[in-house]
Amino acid sequence: MLTAILISLAVVFVAELGDKSQLITMTYALRHRWWVVLSGVAVAATLVHGLSVAIGHFLGLSIPERPIAFAGAVAFLLFAVWTWREGRVSDDGEVQVSEPRFVVFAIVSSFVLAELGDKTMLATVTLASDHNWAGVWIGATVGMVLADGVAIAAGALLHKRLPAGFLHSLASVLFLVFGLWLLFDSALGLRWVALSVTGSVLVGVGTAALVRFVRARKAAPTTPASLRSP
């Protein structure tokens, strides 16, 4: 059992580095407290890897990837709209954030949909077919939580250094990109279309952000030379 825990922890931790789940975790950490995000990740990891162990060790079934990917794409697009509407800018420039009553549910549901059929879950299914199922479940869950904890730390650091309005816009764009990628790549199998659409979105958003920054710099009041300190 100890061997299964260590192997599963190492495999899942490495597989999660740079994976979309880490990016999703950082996206949530930009907007919510770290312990709320970590709680949602822990619940989602327990559910996903419990299902993986059941599939790999007890059932030996395959996962219908495309229907699940389509459901995940719809969910992420809805999260993008929700995030965009949640952060509203008032007249004085402050972001008005509605009370996140269902944050943990949103985190758990988005993670489960994102992980179903993902390489991390497939790795857990394979490990569970050859090793102790309880050890694989524990190790995979801990490995995923540790890897996503790194993303939470990065999101929390950005949250302290960047304006709230910018963070909400960034989170909304990331959810939009995740949803479009899942829709065109995983659900429809159109990798080049996914690359083109998500790339166009990122370029468009980056261009709009640059234009807005330049206009804000030009509109900023300048201090007269006579009032400047020597």
Whole-prediction pTM: 0.66
pLDDT tens track for 3-35:
888 888 888 888 787 677 787 888 788 777 888
What's the CA gap between 15 and 17, in Å, rounded? Answer: 6
What's the CA gap between 163 and 4, in Å, rounded? Answer: 44
Residue 125: count of CB within 10 angstroms of its CB: 24
Helices (H), 116-163: 119-130, 133-161
Least Cα distance to 110 among 205, 14, 26, 197 occurs for 26
Least Cα distance to 201 among 165, 155, 169, 157 occurs for 169
pLDDT tens track for 89-148:
433 444 444 445 577 888 888 788 777 767 777 778 878 877 888 888 999 999 999 988
